[in-house]
Structure 1
């Protein structure tokens, strides 16, 4: 029986979530598996991977072959590095302490890179929020300035109409008085 370490899809449409499993190569993608080794969530940035390293290394020692995507995930988490170091221990090239020291050093360097990426992503997110807030403030100021100008224009037009109405009423009111004065002079 050929054993593969592969991904088993779960989750909703357009929102995949994977289990990393050891399964018979002939079984269906989402079918029966021998053991669940971990999970992989590509929806987060960076992707979230929870993996039982010791059990996965044991499956690799027993001859399980990872698929291409599973191999990339195992390499990212250091499982292949640990498997390689265990091979050096079996051959006598390394002691267990040396292999553990190399593996912990590699894990520290990897976690530093991941933390730096998370920091860069959070900084970029806050910068984008600040930039959007500044753009929104500028747009609001422009909108307020246009509203003030429009209000002033309306006030000026209204004032002109009131002045025009007042002068027209005065002229109309004065016109009969002038005619009465003309009639008095004619008489």
Structure 2
């Protein structure tokens, strides 16, 4: 039975949410699956991916073939790297501890890049909000300036008339 690692669509129309599953290649896209490996939410920025790395590596070592999109997601989360490193351990290139050390170093570097991107996006959003606030303040000041002279003119005209009548007395 050929096994594929692929995305199974969930969510509502216009708001996709995916499960990453290992399924028989002959099964329907949203049909029966063998194992749920993780989730993928493309609606957030950056996209949210929760993945059981060891489970995915196990399926890949047993011959499961990922689809193109699933392969990109697995590569993004380091599953393909971990599979590659496990091959090095089997060949005797390095030990299990060295493999874990390399993988953890890669994961920490990747998380740093992702957090930097998220921080940059938040910074851009804050800057845009501040710019919109300044534009709104400018519009409000223009409205006040347009309405203020009308209010100030009426009392100014009445005040000299009152002074003139007091001078006559």
Calculate the TM-score normalised by the size of structure 2: 0.89
Whether 1:15 and 2:15 are equivalent positions in the alignment is yes
Question: Structure 2: how far apart are the matches of 1:149 and 1:69?
Answer: 64
Dislocated runs of 4+, deviation >2 Å: 149-153
What CA distance in whole angstroms lies between the structure 2 residues aligned with 1:103 and 1:150?
Answer: 72
Q: Give the corresponding residue for 2:118.
A: 118
Distance in 1, Cα, partners of 2:80 & 2:147: 65
In structure 2, what is the equivalent of residue 85 of structure 1? 85
Residue 149 of structure 1 and its aligned partner are, at CA, apart by 2.9
Task: Please identify the structure whose Cα radius of gyration is greater.
Answer: 1
1:100 aligns with 2:100: yes
Residue of structure 1 in register with 2:72 after alignment: 72
Q: How does 1:24-39 map to 2 (within 5 A)?
A: 24-39=24-39
- Distance (whole Å) between structure 1 residues aligned to residue 81 and residue 61 of structure 2: 13
Rounded Cα–Cα distance in structure 2 between residues aligned with 1:39 and 1:118:
19
Distance 1:91 1:25 in 2: 31
Shift of 1:152: 5.0
> What SS does structure 2 have at the residue aligned with 1:138?
helix
How far apart, CA to CA, are the structure 2 residues paired with 1:138 and 1:111?
Answer: 40
Q: CA deviation at 1:150?
A: 3.9
**CA RMSD between the two structures:** 1.6
The whole-number CA distance in structure 1 between the counterparts of 2:138 and 2:126 is 18
Alignment deviations for residues 51-100 of structure 1 (CA, whole Å, 9 cap, x no partner): 00101100000000000110010001000000000011111112111111
Distance in 2, matches of 1:26 and 1:149, equals 77
SS state of the match for residue 146, structure 1? helix
**Residue 94 of structure 2: SS of its match in structure 1?**
coil
Residue 6 of structure 2 aligns to a residue whose secondary structure is strand
Aligned residue in 1 for 2:130: 130
> What CA distance in whole angstroms lies between the structure 2 residues aligned with 1:4 and 1:150?
75
